[in-house]
Chains A and B, each alone.
Chain A
């Protein structure tokens, strides 16, 4: 059974700072990795996808993948109050197309 762990508690960051989120996964066969943002009472919104080792940047977001260590991370630069949300890490196998999610990490950006 594929397991995805996001084991840090709520993260409070001052506005303008960098928020760093980590995620580990158990299945070495996992090939696709995603970060979703979920505002309270809303559905998850895809913000980043990464498939190869290394960094991928999109605006203020950077995803980092290390398959050897089985972790994926998300950095949010210049954090804004609008970034306050729960961030969900998800993984799947190429060709499988069923996502396994972590429990999510709540981020609170303090103005």
Chain B
């Protein structure tokens, strides 16, 4: 049973550029959430996609956008990159109606470095 996958693993971009990160959820999961984790901090919620729509959004600017495809995979796009966007970007998948708490399972992450 394949877990959550993310690509690419590492990425180096220059300030002002745009980046697209990709995520495929765990088999049987239909909800994808994205988190940003800065060094030494806990993950911060960016947004969540379900049924190809953004259902919830955290405190992130509009430079952060996303998409979910019919096969439940998802993309995170960041425009006009800033140095402060350097972080580990995590994708987590879960299944609606799964148990009590919608356990979320993380992919390996994409390490983004902005220079």
Name A's B-contacting residues (CB within 8 A). Answer: 4, 31-34, 36, 42-46, 49, 51, 88, 90, 92, 94, 96-104
Contact residue range for chain B?
20 to 34
How far is it, in angstroms, between the C-alpha of A34 and the C-alpha of B43 when the chains are bound? 13
Residues on the B chain within 8 Å of A34, using CB = 101, 103-104
Contact between chains at A98 and B106 (CB < 8 Å): no
Q: Output the nearest chain B residue to A45 by Cβ-Cβ distance.
A: B106
Which B residues between 1 and 50 are near A, CB-CB below 8 angstroms? 31, 33, 35, 40-45, 48
Contact between chains at A94 and B100 (CB < 8 Å): yes
Q: How many A-B residue pairs have CB under 8 A?
A: 67
> With A44-B106, A97-B94 known to touch, is A31 a contact of B101 (CB < 8 Å)?
yes
Assess whether B66 is interfacial by the CB under 8 Å rule: no
Assess whether B63 is interfacial by the CB under 8 Å rule: no
Contact between chains at B42 and A104 (CB < 8 Å): yes
Residues on the A chain within 8 Å of B33, using CB = 97-99
How far is it, in angstroms, between the C-alpha of A34 and the C-alpha of B103 when the chains are bound? 8
Residues on the A chain within 8 Å of B41, using CB = 103-104
- Best-surrounded residue of A4, A49, A99 (most CB of chain B within 10 A): A99
Contact between chains at A94 and B101 (CB < 8 Å): yes
Give per-residue flags for B76-115: 1 if the beta carbon is below 8 A from chain A beta carbons, else 0.
0000000000001010101000001111111111000000
Name B's A-contacting residues (CB within 8 A). Answer: 31, 33, 35, 40-45, 48, 56, 58, 88, 90, 92, 94, 100-109
> What's the least CB distance linking B18 to chain A, in Å?
24
Contact between chains at B102 and A42 (CB < 8 Å): no
Residue in B56, B102, B109 whose CB lies within 8 Å of A43: B109
12 contacts between A and B (CB under 8 A): A32-B101, A34-B104, A46-B106, A51-B101, A92-B102, A96-B56, A97-B56, A98-B45, A99-B43, A100-B45, A101-B42, A103-B42
